[in-house]
C-alpha cells in the first residue's frame, strides 16, 4: 500500500515536471564549447555564427552561453560538466578532441542533450554527432585551382594528418586532376588548427617554392593575407574570408552550422530530440561555397556546374577509377567510396606529391 502511494506520488511529480516542460515558460538553454577564439574568422567564428542564428531564430525562447579557447584534454571535461550543471538543456562541443569528455559527462547527465562535432562516439542515447562533407567543396576548389594556376602547382597548408584532412587533400587533388592530369599539390603540415604566425610562414614558404594558389585546412586568415601581399590566389577556409583578400580569394568553403543548430535546439524545446549521426554537405546547405570571385567567367561557370552536379547527387568526388598513391587500385570504374572508408582515410590517392607523416 505504502509502496503504491510512493509510486503514485512519484508519478504525479513526474507528470508535474513534464507539465512544466511542456508549458515552456523557461527558455531553453543552448551552450557551446569552442576550441578557438570566436574572433578566429574561421572554424570557431562559424560555430559562433550558428549560435547567433539560434538566438535570432528562437528569440526569447532560448538562452545561450559559450566558452571559447577550451583546450582539448582534462580541461574540456570540466568545462562541459560546468555547462551541464549550470542548467544547459543542450550542449554543442565543437571540436574532435572533446569526444571522450563529451561522452563521459553525457553519461552523468542523462537529461541533458549533447551534440559533438566531427566525432564518432555515441556511447549514450543523449549524444549525437554531426559533421559536414567539406570534401565536396575541396573538389570544386581543385577544379578552380587547375584552371587558374599557371605554375600547375598549388600549396596546401594542412593541420593534422587525420582522416578529415587527408580526405580534403585527396578531394582537392582529384578535382584538379580532372582538369589537368599533371597538376601537383605541395603540402605543408602546420601541426596546428590555429596559429596565424605558423600559418603565414607556411604560406610564404610555399609561395617561395613557386606555387601560385594557396589553400588551407587551418583556421586563421593569415594564409589569405600572405597570398594577398604576394599577389597569388587563395581559397578561404571555414568562413568567407573575402575581406582579407578582396583581390585574392577565389572562393571559400563556408561551414554553415546555423540551420542545424536551430533545428536541434527547436527539437529539444519541442521534446522531439533524438540521437542522430549527421554527415551533410552541399545538398543540405551545411557546406556553402562563397561567391566565385577573381576568376574569368568560364571558370566560374565550370565551378558552378561542378557544384550543381555534386549538390544534386549526380556526381560524387570520390568516384572511380581512382588509384592509391602507390599505384594500387582503390576504386574501380564507376565505383563510389563508402562513408566508412572516407571517415577513416589514411592514404593518399595517386598524384599527391607528399608523404603522409607517420
Partner 1 sequence: MRIELVKRPQQSALFSILSPFLALALTLAAGAVMFFLLGKNPVTALYYFFVDPLLEVWSLHELAVKAAPLILIAVGLSVCFLSKNWNIGAEGQFIIGAVAGSILPVVFPGLQSWIVLPLMLLMGIAGGAAYAAIPAVLKARFNTNEILTSLMLVYVAQLFLDWLVRGPWRNPEGFNFPETRNFHAYAVLPEILPASGRAHWGFVFAMVAALVLWFVLSRTLKGFEVKVIGQSPRAGRFAGFSSGRMVIFAFLVSGALAGLAGISEVSGAIGQLRPSISPGYGFTAIIVAFLGRLNPLGIIAAGLVLALSYLGGEAAQISIGVSDKVARAFQGMLLFFVLACDTLIHYRIRLVRTARMDAKGAQAGHA
Q: Which position among 1, 23, 74, 332 is part of the footprint of partner 1 (CB under 8 A)?
A: 74
Asked if residue 285 binds partner 1 (CB under 8 A), the reply is: no
**Nearer to partner 1 (CB atom), residue 34 or residue 292:** 34
- Separation between Cα atoms, residue 123 and residue 121, nearest integer Å: 6
Site string for partner 1, 92-111 (x = CB under 8 A): ----xx--x-----------
Shortest Cβ 165–partner 1 spacing (Å): 11
Per-residue buried b or exposed e for 181-197, using 16+ beta carbons within 10 Å of the residue's own CB: eebbbbbbbbebbbbbe
Let me know: does 234 contact 293? Beta carbons within 8 Å: no
Asked if residue 134 binds partner 1 (CB under 8 A), the reply is: no
Q: Which position among 10, 26, 56, 85 is part of the footprint of partner 1 (CB under 8 A)?
A: 85
- Separation between Cα atoms, residue 201 and residue 211, nearest integer Å: 14
Shortest Cβ 212–partner 1 spacing (Å): 31
Q: Hey, is 336 helix, strand or coil?
A: strand
Looking at residues 48 to 67 of the shown chain, list those that interact with partner 1 (rule: CB under 8 A).
Answer: 65-67
Conformation bin of residue 332: beta by default, left when phi > 0, alpha when psi is -120 to 50: beta
DSSP code for 346: -
Number of residues that bind partner 1 (CB under 8 A): 36
Shortest Cβ 345–partner 1 spacing (Å): 8
Let me know: does 356 contact 350? Beta carbons within 8 Å: no
Helix then strand count (H, E) for the chain reads 11, 14
In what side-by-side order are the strands of the sheet with 28-33? Answer: 62-67, 28-33, 90-93, 113-117, 127-132, 277-280
> Candidates 8-16, 70-78, 203-211, 233-241 — which segment interacts with partner 1 by CB under 8 A?
70-78
H or E segment to which residue 27 belongs: none
Q: Which position among 27, 61, 63, 81 is part of the footprint of partner 1 (CB under 8 A)?
A: 81
Shortest Cβ 358–partner 1 spacing (Å): 5
Shortest Cβ 41–partner 1 spacing (Å): 16
> Candidates 139-147, 173-181, 214-222, 341-349 — which segment interacts with partner 1 by CB under 8 A?
341-349
Let me know: does 52 contact 19? Beta carbons within 8 Å: no
Shortest Cβ 168–partner 1 spacing (Å): 14
Alpha helices (runs of H) in the chain, residue ranges in sequence order = 2-23, 43-58, 74-85, 99-108, 134-148, 163-177, 196-208, 222-230, 258-270, 297-311, 339-343
Site string for partner 1, 144-183 (x = CB under 8 A): ----------------xxxx--------------------
Asked if residue 4 binds partner 1 (CB under 8 A), the reply is: no
Residues that bind partner 1 (CB under 8 A): 31, 37-38, 65-69, 71-75, 77-79, 81-83, 85-86, 96-97, 100, 120, 160-163, 191, 343-346, 357-358
Amino acid at each position: 500500500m505504502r509502496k503504491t502511494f510512493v509510486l503514485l506520488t512519484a508519478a504525479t511529480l513526474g507528470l508535474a515536471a513534464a507539465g512544466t516542460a511542456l508549458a515552456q515558460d523557461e527558455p531553453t538553454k543552448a551552450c557551446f564549447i569552442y576550441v578557438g577564439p570566436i574572433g578566429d574568422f574561421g572554424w570557431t567564428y562559424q560555430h559562433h555564427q550558428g549560435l547567433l542564428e539560434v538566438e535570432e531564430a528562437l528569440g526569447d525562447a532560448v538562452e545561450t552561453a559559450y566558452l571559447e579557447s577550451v583546450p582539448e584534454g582534462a580541461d574540456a571535461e570540466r568545462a562541459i560538466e560546468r555547462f551541464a550543471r549550470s542548467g544547459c538543456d543542450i550542449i554543442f562541443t565543437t571540436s574532435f578532441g572533446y569526444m571522450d569528455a563529451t561522452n563521459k559527462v553525457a553519461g552523468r547527465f542523462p537529461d541533458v542533450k549533447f551534440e559533438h562535432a566531427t566525432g564518432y562516439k555515441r556511447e549514450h542515447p543523449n549524444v549525437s554527432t554531426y559533421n559536414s562533407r567539406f570534401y565536396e567543396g575541396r573538389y570544386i576548389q581543385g577544379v578552380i585551382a587547375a584552371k587558374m594556376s599557371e605554375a600547375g602547382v598549388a600549396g596546401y597548408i594542412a593541420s593534422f594528418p587525420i582522416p578529415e584532412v587527408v580526405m580534403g587533400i585527396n578531394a582537392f587533388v582529384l578535382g584538379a586532376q580532372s582538369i589537368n592530369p599533371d597538376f601537383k599539390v605541395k603540402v605543408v603540415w602546420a601541426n596546428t588548427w590555429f596559429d596565424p604566425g605558423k600559418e603565414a610562414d607556411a604560406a610564404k614558404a610555399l609561395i617561395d617554392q613557386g606555387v601560385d594558389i594557396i589553400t588551407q585546412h587551418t583556421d586563421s586568415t593569415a594564409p589569405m593575407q600572405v597570398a594577398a601581399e604576394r599577389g597569388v590566389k587563395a581559397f578561404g577556409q571555414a568562413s568567407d574570408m573575402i575581406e582579407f583578400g578582396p583581390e585574392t580569394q577565389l572562393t571559400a568553403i563556408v561551414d554553415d552550422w546555423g540551420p542545424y543548430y536551430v533545428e536541434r535546439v527547436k527539437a529539444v524545446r519541442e521534446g522531439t530530440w533524438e540521437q542522430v549521426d549527421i554527415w551533410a554537405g552541399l545538398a543540405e546547405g551545411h557546406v556553402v561555397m562563397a561567391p566565385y570571385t577573381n576568376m574569368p567567367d568560364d571558370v566560374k561557370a565550370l565551378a558552378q556546374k561542378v557544384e550543381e552536379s555534386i549538390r544534386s547527387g549526380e556526381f560524387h568526388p570520390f568516384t572511380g577509377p581512382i588509384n592509391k598513391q602507390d599505384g594500387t587500385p582503390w576504386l574501380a570504374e564507376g565505383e563510389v567510396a563508402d562513408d566508412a572508408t572516407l571517415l577513416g582515410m589514411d592514404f593518399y590517392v595517386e598524384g599527391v606529391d607528399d608523404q603522409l607523416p607517420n
